[in-house]
Structure 1
Amino acid sequence: MARPSKESGLAPAAERIKAAFWELFPAVPLAELSVQRITSRAGLNRSTFYRCFTSLGELIEEIEDEVIPVHVPGVVVAALDAGDLMAPLRDSMDAYGENFDRLCLLLSQRGDPGFMRRVKDAMIEAWVHALGGEVADLDDATRTVMEFLVSGATGTFAYRGERGLDVDTLDVIKAWAPLIAAPVVTRLRERIGEERRGG
């Protein structure tokens, strides 16, 4: 028998399950979370959980998908083009809201190690598209530069999550962005342009 879709009335239960996850996760590492703990916090039973999600892994993947920051590279590229990095980043992070805190927590040591790779890959793809290229066309040197760029960003986010969200990320970005982001993006734009031209 097929599982009912979340659109057929299970959405409120699914949202309660996600809310319970976020109530527990800051204090309970991902490896220690269970369906039982989450459903108990949500005031639901296990059968309701399994009508909404096939497994704890599916719930976690859906939660992770909701916080991957694919919009950030486009904001940074546009901001660098305009000559003002901080105001658009601040606006972007404000619009991202609580998902930014959630991203930081998921990237921290209490989260899923595979999530860091998913975020990096999504951000690399978004960066390359924002610069007018395709990931499949990147040579090894350009891909390495992209990895360096997104590792700095995700490392900053993870550090914030490990410190209990008390680190002002914009202060950290102000310290490294002018030194790293602008020169790296300029070089990437050149490299991606050369690769598109076949050079």
Structure 2
Amino acid sequence: MSQVGKITRTEQKIMAAFWQLYSRKKIEKITVREIIELAACNRSTFYAHFSDMYDLLEKFEEQLLPDMAQPAVQKIIAKDDLSLSVEHRMALYQKYKVYYQLLLGPNGDPAFREKLTEFLDQMIKAHLGQKDGQTDFEIDFLVETTASLLLSALNFYFKRTDRPQATEIIGLLSSVLNQGVAQQLGWHISCKKYIKEN
């Protein structure tokens, strides 16, 4: 599971025990005693690696986040169009499905969504050059909107019981990104200016 830095075998055992509990109940209901019993270690060992339960969650989530320095991520960034192969997306989905499904869901950690959004922001920005007349605000808006759309689509996919194959949702998402929501819905959206008279 390690993506950011290396974790010890003891940390892996503690994280695995934590996940068993976290997948069944909220973090505030989990005790250190439950974790050390499942991990077969003592309290001092737990605190040698983690300051508290929230530090454990933070470090657990770090292992699930892609690293901008990873060769696989750099390969994606090196492409001209930011298009990921279906195989790559499927691999990520299969690898992290059980974790993302919970962490991005209603009983998950809102901070994890922010972390993933920040990663996607960085990856998208790595492809962008500022166009003439485009402000920093406009660029940030487009990047944040795109990253949010990607995560919303992922979350939507996870929570549906009637979900199609991952390749189908990827195709639908690609169409929305390439052609826009309005075109997919058959809408024509216009922006009217209203001048308020003093």
Query: Normalization by structure 1: what TM-score?
Result: 0.67
Confirm or deny that 1:123 pairs with 2:114.
no
Aligned AA (1:114) = A
Q: Hey, what does 1:192 align to over in structure 2?
A: none
Contact 1:39–1:49 (8 Å) recurs in 2: yes
Aligned AA (1:170) = T
- Give the Cα separation in 2 of the matches to 1:12 and 1:139: 44
Q: Hey, what does 2:171 align to over in structure 1?
A: 174
Q: Hey, what does 1:148 align to over in structure 2?
A: 145
- Give the Cα separation in 2 of the matches to 1:20 and 1:100: 18
Question: Which digits, 9 at most, give the CA deviation of each residue in 1:84-124, with x for residues without a partner?
Answer: x57x1323441675234323321212211122112111210
Give 1:17 deviation, angstroms: 0.7
User: Max radius of gyration: which structure?
Assistant: 2
Contact 1:20–1:38 (8 Å) recurs in 2: yes
The runs of 5 or more residues in structure 2 that have no matched partner are 1-5, 181-198
- Give the Cα separation in 2 of the matches to 1:24 and 1:150: 30
Question: Which digits, 9 at most, give the CA deviation of each residue in 1:37-68, with x for residues without a partner?
Answer: 32222222222111111221221111111112
Identity %, equivalent residues: 22
Confirm or deny that 1:37 pairs with 2:38.
no
Distance 1:174 1:25, change over 3 A: farther
Contact 2:90–2:166 (8 Å) recurs in 1: no
- SS of residue in 1 equivalent to 2:35: helix
Aligned AA (1:103) = Y
Higher relative contact order (CA 8 A, sep 6+): 1
Structure number with higher helix proportion: 1
- Give the Cα separation in 2 of the matches to 1:18 and 1:79: 38
- Give the Cα separation in 2 of the matches to 1:79 and 1:93: 21
How much is the aligned-residue C-alpha RMSD, in angstroms?
3.6
Q: Hey, what does 1:63 align to over in structure 2?
A: 60
Q: Hey, what does 1:197 align to over in structure 2?
A: none
Distance 1:168 1:52, change over 3 A: farther
Query: Normalization by structure 2: what TM-score?
Result: 0.67
After superposition, residues 44-193 of structure 1 pair within 5 angstroms as 44-69=41-66, 75=76, 78=79, 80=81, 85=83, 88-94=85-91, 97-131=94-128, 139-163=136-160, 168-180=165-177, 182=178
The runs of 5 or more residues in structure 1 that have no matched partner are 1-6, 185-199
Confirm or deny that 1:16 pairs with 2:13.
yes
Contact 2:105–2:155 (8 Å) recurs in 1: yes
- Give the Cα separation in 2 of the matches to 1:132 and 1:31: 44
Report the number of matched residues.
169
